[in-house]
Amino acid sequence: MMWKDKYKIGVEAIDQQHEELFRRVSNFNQTIRNEVNWEAKLDKVKETMLFMKDYVIVHFNDEEAYQEQIGYPQIEEHKDAHAKFKQGIDNYVKIFEEEGFTEEKIQEFGGKLMAWLIMHVGNMDQKIGEYVKSKGGQA
Amino acid sequence: MKVEYVNSFYKATKDVLQLLVDIEPQRGEIKVVQDLGSNKDANVELAVVGDLKGTILFSFPKNMTLEMIKIMSGMEMDKIDNFASSALGEVANIIGGNALTLLSQHNYTCDIAPPRIFLGEYKALPVGNGKALLLPLSTPIGEFDITIHLNEGN
């Protein structure tokens, strides 16, 4: 699995969503890389892709609402990072709409999505946890 | 070529690899090279534009590449397929982006083009003007190189 405990930020609601997101991306990557014939698994790939796209948006919205609630000072920078992340996904959604769900492009997307997610949660989101701790613990 | 170029890329590489793959690369001795080339298996090229212009080349051996992607994904990897090469390209892209942020603290404003990934030997490209610096890095899962060729733009 992709998830590691070091990615936790110490805010339970967000950590749970992160774990779910990692689980979904991990399952997605296992699906696109297993030996099953591409055509046979295409429906599952499409379904998972659409679910993940929606789940990323739900999670980012929840996380931004939480940042507002605690008065997180770097919220604008964080919103920009979320917008870029969503843009990255949208660019691939557009490619899939125009070129179809080709194995090559889906694999390419899966590799990038994994790196983006680990980097975002492992780096940028940790700063939310640090801020919460600096303010005296779990918010 | 100035020391802050090398230090920015080294620091960015160290930070990103520690985060993404739990390894801490150690610097080897920098070499001056006449061309951008590599006989390692997986090469990622980043073109830099802006106040600094040039190319950064990350060169990884196959086994190290597979091990890195395995650590990130939790999946067994036996070949550098589209998934692995895309993830590797993105790792280099993130390192490049972080290095440019560090360089901006020295008042260099630059941008990078999307990474280009070359599997197999990377054909040597002579560096137009000036020389390139090759920074070897060692890790518990293998040795890799970063070749830096940057010039201040006019």
Q: Distance between CA atoms of B105 and A138, rounded to whole angstroms?
A: 33
Is the pLDDT assigned to residue A139 strictly greater than 60?
no
Who among A26, A32, A115 is closest to B87 (CB)? A115
Which residue does chain A place closest to B68, by CA atoms?
A115
Tally of residues, chain B: 154
Q: On the CB side of B31, how many CA atoms lie within 13 Å of its CA? A: 11
B3-152: in CATH 3.40.50.620: no
Taking phi over 0 as left and psi of -120 to 50 as alpha, with beta for the rest, B56 belongs to beta
Q: Which tens digit of pLDDT belongs to each residue from A82-130?
A: 999 999 999 999 999 999 999 999 999 999 999 999 999 999 999 999 9
Q: Which tens digit of pLDDT belongs to each residue from A6-39?
A: 999 999 999 999 999 999 999 999 989 988 888 8
- Report chain B residues whose CB lies below 8 A from the CB of A118: 19-20, 72
Whether residue B83 and residue A111 make contact (CB cut-off 8 A), yes or no, is yes
Question: CB pairs under 8 A, 24+ apart, for A78-84?
Answer: A78/A124, A78/A128, A81/A120, A81/A124
Write the ipTM: 0.91
**CB distance A78 to A64 below 8 Å:** yes
Whether residue B82 and residue A107 make contact (CB cut-off 8 A), yes or no, is yes
Q: Which tens digit of pLDDT belongs to each residue from A84-95?
A: 999 999 999 999
Give the mutation candidate from B15, B73, B81 for the A interface (greatest A CB count, under 10 A): B73
Q: Distance between CA atoms of B54 and B149, rounded to whole angstroms?
A: 5
Find which of A130-139, B58-67, B112-121 is predicted with most confidence, using mean pLDDT.
B58-67
Who among A30, A103, A111 is closest to B86 (CB)? A111
Is the pLDDT assigned to residue A137 strictly greater than 90?
no
Which strand (E) or helix (H) includes residue B142? strand B142-152
Alpha-carbon distances, residue A52 vs A24, A93, B30 (angstroms): 7, 11, 43
Write out the E strands in chain A: none
- Report chain B residues whose CB lies below 8 A from the CB of A121: none
Q: Distance between CA atoms of A108 and B85, rounded to whole angstroms?
A: 8
Whether residue B86 and residue A32 make contact (CB cut-off 8 A), yes or no, is no
Q: On the CB side of B100, how many CA atoms lie within 13 Å of its CA? A: 22
Q: On the CB side of B127, how many CA atoms lie within 13 Å of its CA? A: 24
Would you say the pTM of this structure is higher than 0.90? Answer: yes
CA distance A7 to chain B (A): 9
Q: Which residue from B91, B111, B90 is spatially nearest to B100, judged by alpha carbons?
A: B111
Burial class, A71, CB count within 10 angstroms (exposed 0-12 / middle 13-18 / buried 19+)? exposed
Domain residues of chain B, as ranges? 3-152
